[in-house]
Structure 1
Amino acid sequence: MPQSHRSELIRALPYARRYARALTGSQPCGDLLVAESLRELVTQPRGRSSARHDLYRVISVKAAALEKNAPHNHTLPLSQRQLLLLTALEGLPSNQAAEILGIDPQIAVQQIDDAYKTIRSVSQTAILIIEDEPIIAMDIEDLVIRCGHTVAGIAHTQADAIALAKETKPGLILADINLGDGGNGMDAVAEIMRSMSVPVIFVTAYPECLLTGNTIEPAFVITKPFDPLMLAVATYQAITGGVPVP
């Protein structure tokens, strides 16, 4: 394999990790899929697609094999969940997502529309927002409500987040990483998880810092700013647990 393509694959790894973790619902499983996909691509001749798209494609195929071996009672079929993640989370146009998954582009558009309507009706929950900037917190609150969820509470500091979580028992936590002088969102979540189990989506302007694969990192990461579709897709995956592992 040419060195240029090898370098391109390495640059694509953070995006592949984000997709695979969201698809499987866990960092270890997602990162393992990425590592296996990377090893496979390194031994293959370079195709016409970009390295990033090649990684998405192989990850998607391997995830389909996992789900076939360990069926899960998802409301949405895997192909629709993959389409939603590729378009909403990874920001690909629907025609590129369709090409990666080997789906007719027109069918892909219809599946994305159908899937979005479905997840709005099946994944409503009470969300605890952890965000230190009041105006941004208000914007996130509006997005949460527009997605059909309720707001369990808004915490601006690490201490407030821990107290509110114990008080409200949210169905999901949406946490900013950097809380300024108010502490750290990841530390707040770590403390919360000592007394309860709850899905968590981390929000950051610098996702590549949380997608290195070198340490314990979040399973679900979305990038600021985000829109209702991205939030809805990430919430559905976080609540339903992603692709099951045999």
Structure 2
Amino acid sequence: MNQPENASDLSAIVTAELPFLRRYARALTGAQDSGDRYAMATLEAIVADRELIQNASTPKVALFQTFHRIWSSAGGAIEQGSDLDDLLESRAQWRLRHLTQNSREVLLLRSVENFGFDAIAQIIELPQSEIEELYHRAMSDMGDVVSGQVLIIEDEGIIAMDLRSIVTEMGHSVTGVARTRDEAIAKGTAQAPDLILADIQLADKSSGIDAVNALLEELGDRPVIFITAFPERLLTGDRPEPAFLITKPYSEDQVRAAVSQAMFFATTEQMDVAI
């Protein structure tokens, strides 16, 4: 691979790829604070030892590989003292014990971050054949863990229909589809969802982010997936930031992976948990 020649080159690489590492870390841990702690530990490791990036095929693979070494050394567990409450953490830990090891990681790296199986094999440091098997197993593992109710906030009819189809095929139910901020708030408060799937720009030029914030204030914390063509604009280091993002144009696998991962960390009492 082409190595960065100096500290400026390394800084440029990290700056370009950091939003995506943070997105991945948040999806893996389920929260901004815990995900960012792992991302920060990754950066500190690379700054301390630049040789960490010398053996991978690309700097991006090296960045994610370093993250995974830290994640694995910590046991791949949600950190104590994170911003997740006790109920959320205990449920996440219970579900982790019922999943194949490394399956969530492979699922997210492949479906959300768009790495090839060969790159994932380098990142997780397992044979490619095992990575491919883990991916296919993850698609069923995650789908079997939980099912719940989803509110879709999307102003484009075809996309809304597509999202509804994907979500229902996964075994979830859709509480409603909203095209505007006001409609989203009305439908979300009328029937509280376990998960909100929201576009950023809505039909009347209102904001999907504003709609979600209003719903979370009314309903309390629950997982949200935002859909955007520019995910890096929502991963700036400011607060609040979404833990789950789908990049437009999306694939069905991306939606399935994000929905499964978000449902994995859902907290509502009504959710059906498969045993």
Give matches, 1:48-197, under 5 Å. 48-49=55-56, 50-64=58-72, 65=74, 67=76, 72-73=93-94, 74=96, 75-196=98-219, 197=221
Post-superposition Cα deviations, 1:79-117, rounded to whole Å, max 9, x if no partner, equal 111111100110011121121101111011111111111
Q: Distance in 2 between matches of 1:182 and 1:138?
A: 20
Q: Which residue of 2 aligns with 1:231?
A: 255
Structure 2 unaligned blocks of 5 or more: 81-89, 267-275
| Alignment root-mean-square deviation, CA | 2.0
- TM-score normalised by structure 2 residue count: 0.81
Q: Distance in 2 between matches of 1:31 and 1:130?
A: 27
Post-superposition Cα deviations, 1:130-179, rounded to whole Å, max 9, x if no partner, equal 01122221222222223332211100000111111111211211011111
Post-superposition Cα deviations, 1:168-193, rounded to whole Å, max 9, x if no partner, equal 21121101111142411111111111
Moved more, 220-229 or 21-30: 220-229
Secondary structure at 1:129 match in 2: strand
Post-superposition Cα deviations, 1:6-59, rounded to whole Å, max 9, x if no partner, equal 211211111111111101111122122112211211222241322221221222
Q: Distance in 2 between matches of 1:212 and 1:53?
A: 21
Q: Distance in 2 between matches of 1:67 and 1:241?
A: 15
Is the 2:32–2:241 Cα contact (8 Å) retained in structure 1?
yes
Q: Distance in 1 between matches of 2:238 and 2:213?
A: 18
Moved more, 20-29 or 228-237: 228-237
Q: CA offset at residue 238 of structure 1?
A: 1.4
Structure 1 unaligned blocks of 5 or more: none
Identity of aligned residues (%): 35
Secondary structure at 1:17 match in 2: helix
Is the 1:87–1:97 Cα contact (8 Å) retained in structure 2?
yes
Q: Which residue of 1 aligns with 2:271?
A: none
Is the 2:65–2:123 Cα contact (8 Å) retained in structure 1?
yes
- Partner letter of residue 61 of structure 2? H
For 1:222, which of 233, 246, 254 is the aligned residue? 246
